[in-house]
Structure 1
């Protein structure tokens, strides 16, 4: 036996309101239509659900027995309906993100503040893991999305390029090399350097730039975040060679940046699993990130034109 959902709704509304006429008004039906639905439910159940007394419908003991379960079932459906509307309107949800520490401590804080202003009821977690772990978390959907530095050669991850930036040298404003517009391996010969950890793609490119000119870089200190590299540079430990996009968030008063040549570009991308469609919250975050980086690129282009 399979009971009709509409008949169960008519039964519930009649129990709540006490009459088929009131139930019909609540359901947007006529009173005869509700009566037919009740009659159909009684036929399917095999027993009566109401009896009339002084012109009023009264529930039978059997109706009272099943009403509680019917009410709970419809209450669950109403909660599902509310949840669906909340999700559609971004009034609920959890977005799990993975991002490099330097990005989380810099530009991502601005992007996330704007995102959370738009969707104040959405919860967000940001996890900073090793590059390979972050990629795996996104690929297997432990995280909904992430920010990653390219290149990335994985078929199980989809990427959207967000930003391309130069490599710069960060140094104190009173450093002798601050008088230069561009710094090269030749100009940095025998100069103490602060570089990011050995073995990364960018570090290999920096090492290659020095090696191709037969110059041995004077690496004074190695670290793993752009923020710490800039902090050490500010203290005069050495000239930091880092990503310009990240450095902008850590260069303070008394510090300056100079372009490094040969050109080494840094590309950052938004990543999601290629094994499933991007969810709506991740898509909204991507839109916010594209807006932010688009404005940054436009501003940089304007500044470049003004200097010509």
Structure 2
């Protein structure tokens, strides 16, 4: 077995051009280096230097061995660099599953900041259904998930990430745009744009029922952007998530708080039983910073 310390001294002799100069540079005695080289030659079975010269003149075998040693050390330096990157940045890639409301601005901004902090970090973004996001987090198919609350999933560490109150989207010139808030009673008889089947749409319908109002849904659109687009065309009013709705600044719509209050929750999901990578921890911190900037 070759002694790594002997290889270090072999390289030092080559680098400094002689055993005496190498000993002076390293602060050790010249006999120590001579013995180390002799041991290395005995292990290898061939001479490394031409004897009788004051400078270090490698033999042909010594030159060939030196090339192999440098290749090995180059590989070790690469491993050291890779280890530093993993230590500082994590494993280098992340898979994030995100609901549509946060996928167009909040998440991209956090990823932009992550890329600035960790050049070379790779993030793949997926926008599936909430149940799929929970399923991926439970099975470890994503590192981070942002989704509406669900029950019945195990193997997921879930914490509340964001809670906002629903707003009513209406054309800017609509009479209700002058109100500070809009109630279910205010929307009696108004054409409405419903959302797709799900917990949020059910909560909207329950809010109207508690207020004794029968909603008149004229059209349906699954996502906030589509509902706001229909509102802008004068096809009805809609109860929507304010986060994506506020991003639609180019549309001629007004947003007013809806009463009774309808909280919209987003959960941050991570696989349970597996510590997050450093990269995942950094992205979570940046996501939280973007969330805090919303208020």
Q: What is the alpha-carbon distance in structure 1 between the residues aligned to residue 38 and residue 127 of structure 2?
A: 62
Paired position in structure 2 for 1:300:
none
Post-superposition shift, 1:46?
Answer: 4.6
Paired position in structure 1 for 2:255:
257
Matched, 1:194 2:193: yes
Post-superposition shift, 1:168?
Answer: 1.0
Paired position in structure 2 for 1:207:
205
Matched, 1:104 2:106: no
Paired position in structure 2 for 1:70:
69
Q: 1:269 to 1:113 in 2, by over 3 A?
A: same
Paired position in structure 1 for 2:283:
285
Matched, 1:222 2:212: no
Match of 2:273 among 268, 272, 275: 275
C-alpha contact (below 8 Å) 1:166/1:266 kept by paired residues: yes
Matched, 1:79 2:78: yes
Q: What is the alpha-carbon distance in structure 2 between the residues aligned to residue 196 and residue 220 of structure 1?
A: 11
Q: Provide, for residues 19-62 of structure 1, a one-character-per-residue CA deviation record: whole Å limited to 9, x for no partner.
A: 33454567675544433333333344455433314233343454
Long gaps (5+) in structure 1:
298-308
Q: Provide, for residues 161-203 of structure 1, a one-character-per-residue CA deviation record: whole Å limited to 9, x for no partner.
A: 33210011111121233244333333323322222211x2212
| Aligned partner of residue 277 in structure 1, secondary structure | coil
C-alpha RMSD of the superposition = 3.0
Q: What is the alpha-carbon distance in structure 2 between the residues aligned to residue 71 and residue 16 of structure 1?
A: 12
Taking structure 1 as the reference length, what is the TM-score of the superposition? 0.81
Q: What is the alpha-carbon distance in structure 1 between the residues aligned to residue 20 and residue 140 of structure 2?
A: 51
Paired position in structure 2 for 1:178:
177
Q: What is the alpha-carbon distance in structure 1 between the residues aligned to residue 226 and residue 27 of structure 2?
A: 66
C-alpha contact (below 8 Å) 1:195/1:242 kept by paired residues: no
Q: Provide, for residues 230-266 of structure 1, a one-character-per-residue CA deviation record: whole Å limited to 9, x for no partner.
A: 2221111221211123322224463211222232211
| Aligned partner of residue 274 in structure 2, secondary structure | coil
The total of aligned residue pairs comes to: 295
| Aligned partner of residue 52 in structure 1, secondary structure | coil
Paired position in structure 1 for 2:118:
119
Q: 1:84 to 1:238 in 2, by over 3 A?
A: same
Long gaps (5+) in structure 2:
none
